[in-house]
Amino acid sequence: MGVLDRRVALVTGAASGIGRATAQSFAREGAHVWLVDRNADGLAQVRAELDGDHHVHQLDVTDEAGWIALANSLDRLDVLVNNAGFGVFRSIADTTLEHWRSIMAVNLDSVFLATKYLLPLLARSTHGGAIVNMSSIRGIAGAANTASYCASKGGVRMFTKATALECAALGNNVRANSIHPGHVATPLTAGAHVSEEDRRALLADTPIGRKAMPEEIADAILFLASDASRYMTGAELVVDGGSTAQ
């Protein structure tokens, strides 16, 4: 028996990093997984790694019409993981309005769009729907040269709490929680856009002294998606090797 047996779960950003590890863990735990990403090749690769019956769906998560079409093609949904996102180190002076808006669109608009169009399906879940939104420790604590990322992830944190309260008020049995990783070993943090200096600073700031593996974040997402967290809603789960405990 898996903890997500007979559940349908949708994971955005499933072609890489934390989303990929989450799709793998959900599939192992018995869920039927919808893998969503804009990267079709990456999706196909992850799909090939999974046993069982799962769907891949290419979507730019900022595309409202795309979300409406996806919602219309789903019969049911029990778990939604809004994970797709990105960030780059950039000073406020070097941030253009276009860059600011692109970060907000991918990291925050997407969470609103997915929630707006998929909540009716989650509300019909016989298990009680679960939403897990990907924030970051940068949604709790600021850092230099990350203002737009921090603003977007802080927005995800508060949007999640408001979603949780609205669902409770509606009595629709949907829980919403945010997750706040620290430094995770994924293509996002391994990219050439992260300088050696930034990389060293991130690690120096992590008491456990190493990056998290994507699977370690996926384990926490699985907890928030499953009945093990059934009394949690509007909560923020920090998985950061002690960074924000300092």
Q: Of 123 and 202, which CB lies nearer to ligand NAI in the complex structure? A: 202
Residues 32-51, one symbol each (x = binds ligand NAI by CB under 6 A, - = not), give -----xxx--x---------
Residue where the block lists tokens 């950061």: 240
Part of the chain binding ligand NAI (CB under 6 A), chosen from 8-16, 71-79, 162-170, 193-201: 8-16
- Min dist. Cβ of residue 127 to ligand NAI (A): 25
Interface with ligand NAI in residues 188-227 (CB under 6 A): 188-189
The strand order across the sheet containing 175-181 reads 55-58, 32-37, 8-12, 79-82, 130-134, 175-181, 236-239
Q: What is the DSSP letter of 68?
A: H
Q: Of 19 and 129, which CB lies nearer to ligand NAI in the complex structure? A: 19
Residues 141-180, one symbol each (x = binds ligand NAI by CB under 6 A, - = not), give ----------------------------------------
Q: Of 76 and 193, which CB lies nearer to ligand NAI in the complex structure? A: 193
Is 87 a binding residue for ligand NAI by CB under 6 A? The answer is: yes
- Min dist. Cβ of residue 1 to ligand NAI (A): 28
Long-range CB contacts (within 8 A, 24+) of 40-46: 41/15, 42/15, 42/16, 43/14, 43/15, 45/15, 46/14, 46/15, 46/20
* Angle at alpha carbon of residue 192, lines to 190 and 198, rounded to 5°: 70
Interacting residues of 95 by C-beta distance below 8 A, sequence separation 6+: 147, 148
Contact residues for ligand NAI, defined by CB under 6 A: 13, 15-19, 37-39, 42, 60-62, 83-87, 106, 134, 136, 181, 183-184, 186-189
